[in-house]
Amino acid sequence: MPSETQNAPEITEETDLEEELALPWKVIVLNDPVNLMNYVVMVFRKVFGYDEQKATLHMREVHELGKSVLWTGDRELAETYVYQLQRWRLQTVLERDD
């Protein structure tokens, strides 16, 4: 007679990691007192390819609300964006999108 545990799916750390990586992640830029507004717009245009209007909208969100979600998607690409923004000296964080 087969036991119930034989029918249960096996849960492994690898499965959990794959599920976590599959979730969308947010790239968030935080406000800082150092960078000028036109510099932030220029960085958003270079890193994300945003046009002037979209980059300015995100810059204003950062300035007025303290942060802006610039991009949401796969973790690997999100980490790349975070790294690029940090190299431009922008305070940037990566958060899981719930």
pTM, rounded to two decimals: 0.78
Q: What is the set of domains in the chain, with CATH numbers?
A: 23-96 (3.30.1390.10)
Q: Quick one: tokens of 4? A: 């119930």
SS (H, E, C) the chain: CCCHHHCCCCCCHHHHHHHHHHCCEEEEEECCCCCCHHHHHHHHHHHHCCCHHHHHHHHHHHHHHCEEEEEEECHHHHHHHHHHHHHCCCCEEEEECC
Q: What is the pLDDT along the chain (98 residues), one digit of tens a residue?
A: 554 445 544 556 665 666 666 789 999 999 999 999 999 999 999 999 999 999 999 999 999 999 999 999 999 999 999 999 999 999 999 999 88
